[in-house]
Amino acid sequence: MREGLSLVGVLVTLSLGFGLLSDAFLTSASLATIANQLPTALTLAVAMTLVLVAGGIDLSVGSVLAVSQGVLGVAMTQLGWNWPAAIAAGLTTGLLAGLVNGAIVVRWALPSFIVTLGMMEAARGGAYLVTGSRTQYIGTDIEWLADLSWLGLSAPFLAAVALVILAEVVLTRTVLGRQAIAIGTNEEAVRLAGVDTRRVKLTIFALSGLLAAVAGVMQVARLASADPNAGTGFELSAIAAAVIGGTRLMGGKGSAVNSSLGVVIMGVLATGLSQIGVQDPTKRLVTGGVIVLAVIADVYRQRWTAARRHQDLT
Amino acid sequence: MQSRWTRSRYVFLPALAALGLFSLGCTSSEPSSDDADPPVVSNDRPVVALVMKSLANEFFLTMEDGARAHQQTNPDRYELIAEGIKDELDVARQIDLMEQMVARGADVLVLAPADSQALVSAAARAVEAGVTVVNIDNRLDEDALAERGLDIPFVGPDNRGGARQAGEVLAGTLNPGDEVAIIEGAPGAYNALQRRLGFEDAMQAAGMAVVAAQSGYWEMDRANGVAAALLLAHPELTALLCANDSMALGAAAAVRAAGRSEDVAIVGFDNISAVQELVRNGSVLATVDQHADQIAVNGIEHALAILDGGETPADLQTEVTLIMADTMP
């Protein structure tokens, strides 16, 4: 909770800073534009948080996003499917990729890093094969999804916010979530306590694949096209956002809400820096610095909390 | 345990067999170069190696298809090996490919370099090995070539001229002094620079104000973000000139999301299939077709002419065509 508040503090400071430096930044149009570009990144950060909390990692989310949207795009443009069927096909693709990841990780007790690295390559190849390496332009049949809006906020953004809240509830209030956190802390102890850890891990990877596909659908709705090159490097942005949000890379600790604040901070930084006229190389320099600073700050915050707890006890 | 071994053997044996066939295929092309050295073999076809950038990119896929179709209609004239790299920035892999091609006994190397500087030394080594090298698509750095005393002909489209044509059409729909912005390709790429210069030529000639030029790294999603930010920062913007069609698609989505489709015109470059519907319905005013299927073919023809004549002909500029709604089939 306290962690979330400090992230909100960072966010407000950044926003006010950019607001002072640029007249265009703190306008409702500007803020809505930033928000409507975030749903894909938010959904991927949720997926990554779930996997990281359980002590795993999913490097394939960007490629799974691409193959899912490739299936969606080809279904609509070449096979003439209607949008519900095409979206269902895209989501199924993501779910299957996630299940394959999870099944391999638990069946052979392999590190998820290497399994999902393999899936990252395989799914990217699948995306090129499905689309024939061609961007599929879908147009109005899909972009109406991004046009639905409430107070200037698009339906995909609102859906992403709902997913963040849902994931937070799953992590903090359900058996699955608690078991995932416990597995991330000490898998062997959880297994000895009689929990089927393999089922939990399979579920988490399947969810991650499904969420990557959802993120793909959101991106297609925004861009009205399915691009086989989409999502390159998104897995690293999702990891960065989760880490800024205080998720521990070794597992056992993480919050979907805080990871999503990490996404928003990165989004505000990107748009704010470009609005005050900072060039791209400098933007990357600053973004990289922020990621590392966030991790260092997290170390101090933990020490401080531990020290206070110690004081309270004595 | 045993059953698992038998099962995996079914996978491995065909894979091994395929590998074996593959290496046979590799060695079988080598004798042809040994045969090519003595002047008596007139009926032996020269081996043309086409080394491209990313085959994940529609443009290079079209280029490869064009070259294969050309080889099939001219089977007696040459043998074709076409290879591409994983993504457009994998320079080291492309250098490896060049060396492999020389080792496999290629007589001609047609190269679309991923980097204008980094591929110069690999090209030089191929020339030293007696291979005829022709540069296509993206021009090798002229200073670096001159430094090594190399004369490698360049066959490629006029990127700057194509971009200028698209810009001129756009200028015809605007008024002098209107604000426009450019979304560039990856920084440092030769064609990105040429297209930017072409757009600027046209805008300056028509008296437009170029208020910003930012890179979208050739990508749709990044260009979408750049375009959205530009639209916010410049409420008077009348046009976005994009250095490729993927970025034009991203920009079109941003313009529509901002509700400014009526006020902001878009031009692109490449004429990929996905952009054609947008050109038809007017969301994208114009794009430029550089006939990807012909670029490699022109390079191959040029190289074969050099082999026959034994001389180094000059550079060759290939045709570009402006594509607009009324010129579309």
pLDDT in tens, A54-63: 999 999 999 9
d(CA A97, CA A84): 20
In a domain, B145, yes or no: yes
In a domain, B29, yes or no: no
DSSP for A134-165 reads: -PEE-THHHHHHHH-EETTEEHHHHHHHHHHH
Q: Nearest residue on chain A to B186, judged by CA atoms?
A: A280
**Lowest mean pLDDT, pick from A75-84, A236-245, B304-313:** B304-313
Task: Provide the residue range defining the domain that includes B102.
Answer: 39-152+293-318
Q: Is the CB of residue B117 less than 8 Å from the CB of residue B141?
A: yes
In a domain, B24, yes or no: no
Per-residue model confidence as pLDDT tens digits over A183-220: 999 999 999 999 999 999 999 999 999 999 999 999 99
Confidence at A1, pLDDT banded by 50, 70, 90: low
Ordered alpha helix ranges (H), chain B: 2-36, 58-73, 91-103, 120-128, 142-147, 159-171, 190-206, 220-233, 245-257, 273-280, 292-309
Confidence at A264, pLDDT banded by 50, 70, 90: very high
The Cα-based distances of B160 to A33, B199, B320 in angstroms read: 33, 8, 10
Residue B48 sits in the same domain as residue B116: yes
Interface-testing mutation among A134, A148, A232, A279, with chain B (most B C-beta atoms within 10 A): A134
d(CA A165, CA A63): 25
Q: How many residues does chain B have?
A: 329
Partners of residue A33 in chain B, C-beta under 8 Å: 228-229, 232, 257-258
ipTM of model:
0.85
B320 CB contacts (<8 Å, ≥6 apart)? B157, B158, B159, B161, B162, B165, B288, B289, B290, B291
Residue B141 sits in the same domain as residue B190: no
Give the predicted TM-score (pTM) of the model.
Answer: 0.84
Q: Is the CB of residue A130 less than 8 Å from the CB of residue A141?
A: no
- Identify the pLDDT of residue A160: 97
Closest residue by Cα to residue A68 from A228, A203, A233, A235: A228
* Run of H or E residues at B155: strand B154-157
- To the nearest whole percent, how much of chain A has pLDDT over 90? 66
Interface-testing mutation among B88, B221, B226, with chain A (most A C-beta atoms within 10 A): B221
- Identify the pLDDT of residue B18: 46
CB-nearest to B57 from A133, A225, A230 is A133
- Identify the pLDDT of residue A234: 94
Residue B300 sits in the same domain as residue B218: no
Residue B190 sits in the same domain as residue B207: yes
The Cα-based distances of A18 to A5, B102, B229, B254 in angstroms read: 20, 55, 14, 22
The count of C-alpha atoms lying within 13 angstroms of the C-alpha of A124, restricted to the half-sphere facing its C-beta, is: 23
Domains identified in chain B, total number: 2
- Identify the pLDDT of residue A29: 83
Flag if A228 and B250 touch (Cβ within 8 Å): no
One pLDDT digit (tens) per residue for chain B, 329 residues:
344 444 444 444 444 444 444 444 443 333 344 444 444 334 578 999 999 987 777 888 889 999 999 999 999 999 999 988 877 667 888 999 999 999 988 999 999 998 888 899 999 999 999 999 999 988 888 888 998 888 899 998 889 999 999 999 999 999 999 999 999 998 877 889 999 999 999 999 999 999 999 999 889 999 999 999 899 889 999 999 999 999 999 999 999 999 999 999 999 999 998 999 999 999 999 999 999 888 999 999 999 988 888 666 778 888 899 999 988 76
- Identify the pLDDT of residue A62: 97
In a domain, B99, yes or no: yes
- Identify the pLDDT of residue B251: 97
Residue B176 sits in the same domain as residue B249: yes
Flag if A275 and B274 touch (Cβ within 8 Å): no
- Identify the pLDDT of residue B22: 43
Residue B245 sits in the same domain as residue B265: yes
In a domain, B100, yes or no: yes
Q: What angle do helix axes A234-244 and A61-77 make, rounded to 10 degrees?
A: 130
Residue B163 sits in the same domain as residue B275: yes
In a domain, B16, yes or no: no
Beta bridge partners of B45: none
Query: Is beta strand B265-267 parallel, antiparallel or unpaired with respect to B237-242?
Result: parallel
**Whether pLDDT at A314 is above 50:** yes
Greater pLDDT, B120 or A4: B120
- Identify the pLDDT of residue A182: 95
Residue B148 sits in the same domain as residue B175: no
Residue B71 sits in the same domain as residue B145: yes
B285 CB contacts (<8 Å, ≥6 apart)? B169, B170, B173, B265, B266, B267, B279, B324
- Identify the pLDDT of residue B72: 94
Q: Looking at residue B229, which CATH number applies to its domain? A: 3.40.50.2300
In a domain, B34, yes or no: no
Q: Is the CB of residue A42 less than 8 Å from the CB of residue A260?
A: yes
Residue B203 sits in the same domain as residue B313: no
Residue B126 sits in the same domain as residue B81: yes
**Mean pLDDT value across chain A:** 92
Flag if B219 and A270 touch (Cβ within 8 Å): no
Q: What is the mean pLDDT of residues A216-226?
A: 94
Flag if B256 and A143 touch (Cβ within 8 Å): yes
In a domain, B6, yes or no: no
Interface A-B, measured as beta-carbon pairs within 8 A, has a size of 91
Residue B200 sits in the same domain as residue B148: no
Residue A86's region, left for phi above 0, alpha for psi from -120 to 50, else beta, is alpha
Q: Is the CB of residue B272 less than 8 Å from the CB of residue B59?
A: yes
Interface-testing mutation among B222, B232, B284, with chain A (most A C-beta atoms within 10 A): B232
